[in-house]
């Protein structure tokens, strides 16, 4: 083996290690997700790095029926036809790297989803199918103005932007799930009344959810100023999630800014001790699936802070929305509205010193249809424990207590019996 070949092998090995750490490091709440997901280490990135993860999951809902009928908050997703279920919630495989040895200023990211979730499950009106969730190329030619093109995670809320394999809880908060994880009905998707179980799915959306992604172009970069790292992003997208299509001429606008104070400048990466302040905004239009002559504005914005310095971490975020306020998986026909909603969460974790255990606690609140006779409130506490067998494999146990109520009598009747939810999940990464 000549000297050039040895140096190339060392670079590839180092790049593989860095990429592996970026993708598999747990609890990376202080991470710069735009840079980690959209760029590669210059000069050492391999042409191909294969990665992925699998999340076998079990969930049990202890809610009571109302007059023998169940609504979607009392059932296990994405099928919403039972109160207990084993599932492969996510199973993703991807590749990334810098494929051109003569020009490392171009890198790519591609990934597909094979698990059973809101992206791949078509509910009552569709069927399961794997989906391509990411397919992007980043051009790094202009300092301060990187360009990412294709299908990828849009710059936005922390819970949606972060790598899902680093999510410290099994289920999203209500505010993220309802306000940001966008659904797309078609004319054939009709509302579904509460039903007894076992029964047909109460998931009335046949198209895949957004997966916090869009197809478009993003200009972004990060800048170091002393102990601070500032990051910005501006993106234009179709507004159609992972579907790689567009049903109108309007484009969605995404804006993002974060400023992170790094406690240790020599320790930059997914687990870098830091405090990060961030804010984001997105706006676009949606064509009514039930009336093609109508277009509905959709606006979302929020801000938050994250802290990570072992043995503790903390994240808090609040967000607002107007238009296209989700009314439940069983109500696709009500999605095209001009209602308002807001909510947020605060969560924290303690890495028990000299052990492989971690304790987590999260509170989230979501208020839907604010200032209307149908205003509905969702309050949830989630306590969790994680055991890390190694940096790439962990088991998570969560228990959620939920207090849901509504000013609308019919909705409130169905929410009265909502009780605890237990979830168990193994995450194995490669």
Task: Give 123's DSSP letter.
Answer: G
Question: What pLDDT was estimated at residue 269?
Answer: 62
**End-to-end alpha-carbon separation of the chain, Å?**
29
Cβ-based neighbours of 430, under 8 Å, separated by 6 or more? 50, 51, 52, 53, 392
Within 13 Å, how many C-alpha atoms sit on residue 75's CB side? 25
Condensed to tens digits (0 to 9), the pLDDT of residues 291-343 reads 999 999 999 999 999 999 989 999 999 999 999 999 999 999 999 999 999 99
- The pLDDT assigned to 231 comes to 97
pLDDT score for 9 = 44
Count of domains forming the chain: 1
Task: Decide: 213 and 151 in contact? Cβ < 8 Å.
Answer: yes
What is the secondary structure of 303-368 as a DSSP string?
A: EEEEEEETTEEEEEEEEEEESS----TT-GGG-S---EEEEEEEEEEEE-TTSSEEEEEEEEEEEE
CATH number reported for the structural domain that contains residue 266 in this entry: 2.40.160.10
Which residue numbers in the chain have pLDDT < 50?
Answer: 1-29
State the maximum Cα–Cα separation within the chain, in Å, rounded to a whole number: 77
Contact 208/113 with Cβ under 8 angstroms?
A: no
Coil, helix or strand at residue 160: helix
- pLDDT value for 4: 42
Residue 104's domain comprises 3-429
Give the predicted TM-score (pTM) of the model: 0.91
Residue 264 pLDDT? 84
Q: Cα(317)–Cα(365) distance, rounded to whole angstroms?
A: 11
Q: What is the pLDDT of residue 270?
A: 59
SS3 category, 223: strand
Q: Tokens for 249, please give them.
A: 């001429």
Which pLDDT belongs to residue 26? Answer: 42
Q: What is the structure's pLDDT at 271?
A: 66
């Amino acid at each position: 083996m000549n000297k050039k070949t040895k140096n190339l092998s060392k670079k590839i090995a180092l790049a593989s290690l860095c990429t592996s750490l970026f993708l598999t490091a747990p609890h990376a709440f202080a991470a710069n997700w735009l840079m980690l997901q959209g760029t590669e280490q210059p000069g050492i990135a391999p042409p191909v790095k294969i990665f992925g993860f699998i999340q076998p999951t079990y969930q049990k809902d202890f809610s009571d029926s109302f007059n023998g009928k169940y609504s979607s908050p009392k059932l296990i997703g994405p099928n919403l036809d039972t109160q207990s279920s084993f599932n492969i919630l996510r199973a993703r495989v991807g590749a990334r790297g810098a494929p051109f040895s003569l020009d490392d200023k171009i890198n790519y990211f591609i990934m597909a989803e094979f698990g059973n979730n809101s992206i791949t499950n078509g509910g009552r009106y569709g069927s399961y199918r794997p989906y391509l969730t990411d397919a992007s190329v980043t051009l790094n030619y202009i300092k301060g103005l990187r360009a990412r093109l294709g299908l990828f995670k849009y710059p936005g809320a922390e819970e949606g932007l972060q790598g899902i394999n680093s999510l410290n809880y099994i289920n999203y908060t209500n505010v993220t799930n309802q306000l940001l994880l966008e659904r797309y009905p078609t004319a054939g998707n009709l509302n579904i009344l509460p039903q007894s179980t076992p029964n047909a799915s109460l998931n009335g959306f046949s198209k895949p959810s957004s997966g916090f992604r869009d197809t478009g172009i993003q200009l972004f970069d990060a800048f170091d100023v002393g102990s601070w790292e500032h990051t910005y992003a501006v993106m234009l997208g179709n507004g159609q999630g992972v579907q790689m299509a567009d049903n109108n001429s309007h484009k969605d606008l995404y804006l993002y800014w974060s400023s992170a104070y790094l406690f240790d400048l020599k320790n930059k990466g997914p687990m870098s001790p830091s405090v990060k302040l961030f804010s984001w905004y997105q706006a676009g239009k949606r064509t009514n699936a039930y009336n093609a002559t109508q277009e509905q504005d959709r606006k979302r914005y929020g801000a938050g802070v994250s802290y990570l310095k072992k043995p503790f971490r903390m994240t808090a975020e609040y967000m607002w929305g107007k238009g296209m306020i989700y009314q439940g998986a069983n109500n696709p026909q009500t999605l095209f509205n001009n209602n308002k909603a807001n909510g947020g969460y605060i969560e924290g974790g303690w890495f028990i010193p000299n052990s492989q255990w971690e304790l987590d606690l999260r509170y989230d609140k979501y208020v839907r249809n604010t200032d209307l006779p149908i205003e509905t409130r969702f309050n949830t506490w989630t306590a969790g424990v994680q055991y890390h067998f190694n940096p790439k494999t962990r088991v998570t146990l969560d228990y959620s207590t939920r207090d849901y109520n509504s000013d609308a009598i019919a909705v409130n009747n169905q929410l009265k019996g909502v009780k605890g939810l237990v979830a168990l999940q193994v995450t194995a990464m490669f």
